[in-house]
Amino acid sequence: MLVTPSTLKIYNASAGSGKTTFLVINYLYVLLKSSYPDEFKRILALTFTRKASEEMKNRILQCIKEFSNKKVKKEYRFLFDYITKNLSLTKDQLYQRSKKILFAILHDFYFFSRNISTIDKFTYHIIRSFFSEREINLEMDTDRFLLKIVENILYRLKNSEKWSNILIQSSLEKLKKGKNWDLKKELLKIAHIMVEENNFFYIEKIKNYSLEDFMRLKNILIKRTKIFEKKCKKKGENFFQLLEKISIQKHSFIHLDLPRCFQKLINGNIFSNPFNERLEKYIQKGIFYSNFFSDKNQKILIEKNKEKILFLYKKTKSIYKKNISNYLLDKLFLKNINILSVIHEIEKEFHYIKKEKKIILNTELNKILYERIVQETYPKIYEKIGMQYKHYFIDEFQDISFLQWQNIRMLIENALSENGSAMIVGDPKQSIYRWRGGDAKQFIKLIYFKSKNYKKQIQTIEKNFRSYEEIVKFNNLLYQSISKTFNSTIYQDIYKNYKQKIDKKKYGGYVEINFIHDYFNQNYKEHIYSSIKNKIEKLLKQKYALSDIAILVRNNEEGHFLSEKLVEDGIHVNTSISLLIKNHLEIQIIINFLNIIAYPHCYQKRVILIFLLLKKRFFRTQTKINDHDFIIKILFLPLDLFLKKIILKNSLTLNKLYNKSIYNISEDVIEVFGLLNKQNSTYIYSFLDFVYRSMKRVGNSIIDFLDDWELKKEKESIVISDHINAIRIMTIHKSKGLQFPVVLIPFTDWNIYSKNKEETWIDVNPHLYNGLNTIYLEIETYLKHMKYDNNIRNFYEYHLSDIKFDNINLLYVATTRSIEQLILFSKLGNDQSVSFYIKNFLCEKKMWNKKKCKYLFGIEKKSS
């Protein structure tokens, strides 16, 4: 008799829908339904952050604790009544079960705690079972590990004649294009590509491709691209030779599009399609000249030779159309082929160091588990886990990666086939981590496509328990308006069907959109800050505390600008952005001082240090000459004399510095330049703490310390308690999962398609690429002109669609964090800016007025 599989329950939970409470209720339902007090051992709940897993544990424990008391507190009464009703239990029965479960949990807390975990931690526990305790250690610091690999490879490459020639050639190629080539940086880039999960399957295809293979392919590509360029140039020359032969002047042609087309081919300007739409339209209609401006004799000559011109045009276009796609891919791949040629060497070094140190990287956990699953039809460890767990809960499913889902799916399908249960909760609109492996498509496929292996029950959690009425209504209307702009029907449906219900207890609320007009563009950032400051003062008069206000920014640069300005104006700020110790002048002085010790002949480092000291006003009382003369006078001195000029206290000489630890040198720099004061003492001591920790990691080498600093400086910050009364400034990415009474979003005008160049992999014909069936290239905007190749054009359009989805999701996360008030500030951007979509929404609502600066939804709270 066949066992009918259970149903996979999928919940689409929009922002503010009480997702954590929902998960806790369902966990409690499964736990209390069972007659076994230790049922928690058979439940696995996976989240994405440690904070989320800890919150879930605490709430479950608190509920069980309350249920095991005969007098349940008012705040837990709803849950208690809901479970007794749905499980058809009496209050006494629920009380007795809860009491037994609490006893079981407290006496076996390890199992309870382990089974409510992050996905990464769960994966690590499985992988640990493959090895004995002494065989393996987990390396969390991927950057440091990759730096070690790069340093080893650099040493080997520079001592290899074969590699030296390749590296010199690569450097020269970059210099010809006006670009600097930092070999260490390039090697680190490819090393990071190799460990990033998004690249796993592609790297597997090319990692055994040797240097010789890459060099052979490079020569093939260079030869092929040159042949095509020569063909294009020849056709261009043929056109002008024909004109000369039949005495036609190029300015006789309408709009000069035809001669320009052939001139582009001669100049090698063939990336963007020279056969533009206007030219094509005139050619198809047989229009070669203007009746108003062309000379009569020229018209006659053109008419007489039209067939020859048309034949040459069509022949040229046919050659272009046939070859341009491969040419573009060849040229794009050639940009990266030199650095990719090192991939085999990195792979060897990667495995050598891992084996020697007996470590695995945190970033490769999912890959290791996936490879083990692929090697075995059904891994023994999975058989053991499958017997252990009967119920699965997965939170934030939109952030799951492809490999993570493949690794967990087998367990879930097994549980469902044996009458277990599985519940997945997520929201594709909150998928904002594609760049680090998060793949919303996993969740989208579960929602929109059928499965042969299990039944699915899809449900939307509709009510918003977070935000007040006007904010919910605003977001409902805004994102339904934006949904119309998606080309992808799935992305369109995700937002089109988005409409949250309002919590009856939360009437009121306020939304304000502020547009900054063009005449403020030159001082846009300053004007935004002024508007933010005025709004904060107004909010304080409305009796909000500073800690009730959050400012959400797109990037650290915006956050740093606002936090510095607020601090200057005496407004308390709590932000990891402004508290990064690297941002402070005194720390920059110490780092640059160490740089000139490590690199005594790098005069650029000396200039930077002098400017920092001038900014600190260190030289103001000591010299009457201007800054330029002062720099020129001391810049090229021997290092010991240079130090004497910038260190006015002669106690710190070069010889003394060489005999000291980095920690002591840092202390001396702080003293001689007078860097320590009451305002910056926290930053200075935090930096010294970093120096101490770094020396334990990398030793007393200044160069190694500076490398360590470069890797860690973006994370080294002062930690401030969340309980202080200060405005929170954070990136939108960091705000996900949080909520605030008031949210301000300055600079709501980021580019929907991002101006940063992205790199990706694209499948190709292996016969054209010496056996390679995938290549790594930069995504260039001219790919959108590839109307002669549907594959490339579709690839580019899908890429744009994904980026747009990411950026609309980012806006969605930002506008759904607020409880009572949501305030947006923006300049009116082009059709690639998020502000354009907001303007479109206002137009649809017939609210838009180009002279109007402020748009209100709801009634603003009165000041008191």
Is beta strand 759-763 parallel, antiparallel or unpaired with respect to 774-778? antiparallel
**pLDDT tens-digit map of 297-337:** 877 787 888 888 889 999 999 999 899 888 988 998 998 88
Say how many Å lie between the first and final Cα of the chain, rounded: 73
- Beta-sheet strands, E only, within 331-403: 359-361, 391-394
Enter the tokens of residue 319.
Answer: 């050659």
The candidate with the shortest Cα–Cα distance to 341, out of 195, 153, 166, is 166
Q: Is the confidence at residue 294, as pLDDT, over 60?
A: no
Compute the mean pLDDT over every residue in the chain, rounded to the nearest whole number.
85
pLDDT of the residue at 220: 95
Q: What secondary structure letter does DSSP report for 10?
A: E
Q: Give the whole-angstrom CA distance, residue 631 versus residue 614.
A: 10
Supply the DSSP string of 420-459, one letter for each residue: -EEEEEE-GGG---GGGT--HHHHHHHHHS--SSSEEEEE
**pLDDT tens-digit map of 794-811:** 888 888 899 999 999 999
**138 pairs with which residues across the strands?**
360
- Beta-sheet strands, E only, within 685-782: 727-731, 740-745, 759-763, 774-778
CATH H superfamily, domain 7-131+376-461:
P-loop containing nucleotide triphosphate hydrolases (3.40.50.300)
Supply the DSSP string of 520-583, one letter for each residue: GGGGHHHHHHHHHHHHHHHHHHTT--GGGEEEEESSHHHHHHHHHHHHHTT--EE-TTTTBGGG
Q: Is 857 helix (H, G, I), strand (E, B) or coil?
A: strand
Locate all alpha helices (DSSP H) within 246-290, ordered by sequence. 257-267, 277-285
Q: Give the whole-angstrom CA distance, residue 793 versus residue 784.
A: 6
Which secondary structure element, helix H or strand E, spans residue 121, and what is its range?
helix 119-128
Residue spans of the domains in the chain: they are: 7-131+376-461, 137-357, 483-576+723-754+805-858, 581-712, 764-803
Q: Give the whole-angstrom CA distance, residue 705 versus residue 594.
A: 9
pLDDT confidence bin for 604, thresholds 50/70/90: confident
What average pLDDT does this structure show over 85-106? 93
**Nearest 10 degrees: Cα torsion 217, 222, 227, 229:** 140
Q: Is the confidence at residue 612, as pLDDT, over 50?
A: yes
**pLDDT tens-digit map of 445-455:** 888 888 777 88
Q: Is the confidence at residue 343, as pLDDT, over 70?
A: yes
Residue type, 195: V
Enter the tokens of residue 339.
Answer: 């650095």
pLDDT of the residue at 59: 93
Q: How far is CA 431 from CA 23, 736, 863, in A?
A: 19, 10, 37
pLDDT of the residue at 651: 64
Flag the least confident range among 101-105, 575-579, 811-815, 816-820. 575-579
| CA-based max dimension of the chain | 107
Q: Is the confidence at residue 288, as pLDDT, over 80?
A: no
CATH architecture of 483-576+723-754+805-858: 3-Layer(aba) Sandwich (3.40)
Q: Give the whole-angstrom CA distance, residue 410 versus residue 770.
A: 37
The region that residue 590 occupies, defined by phi over 0 for left and psi between -120 and 50 for alpha, beta otherwise, is alpha
pLDDT of the residue at 836: 93
The candidate with the shortest Cα–Cα distance to 541, out of 862, 835, 794, 763, is 862
pLDDT of the residue at 144: 84
Q: Give the whole-angstrom CA distance, residue 298 versus residue 249.
A: 8
Judge contact between 281 and 331, C-beta under 8 A: no
Residue with tokens 């949990």: 105
pLDDT of the residue at 719: 62
Q: Give the whole-angstrom CA distance, residue 498 versus residue 428.
A: 11
pLDDT of the residue at 3: 42
Q: Is the confidence at residue 279, as pLDDT, over 60?
A: yes
pLDDT of the residue at 722: 63
pLDDT of the residue at 169: 66
Q: Is 653 or 751 the better-scoring residue by pLDDT?
A: 751
Angle at 667 between CA 664 and CA 673, to 5 degrees: 135
The region that residue 538 occupies, defined by phi over 0 for left and psi between -120 and 50 for alpha, beta otherwise, is alpha
What average pLDDT does this structure show over 580-597? 88
pLDDT confidence bin for 562, thresholds 50/70/90: very high
Q: Give the whole-angstrom CA distance, residue 630 versus residue 745.
A: 44
Enter the tokens of residue 651.
Answer: 């106690």
Q: Is 490 or 438 the better-scoring residue by pLDDT?
A: 490
**Long-range contacts of 754-760, Cβ-Cβ distance < 8 Å, separation of 24 or more:** 754/803, 754/807, 758/799, 758/803, 759/336, 760/799
Structure pTM? 0.84
Q: What is the CA radius of gyration of the chain?
A: 32
pLDDT of the residue at 1: 33
pLDDT of the residue at 133: 60
Asked if domains 7-131+376-461 and 483-576+723-754+805-858 share a fold, the reply is: yes
Q: Is the confidence at residue 503, as pLDDT, over 80?
A: yes
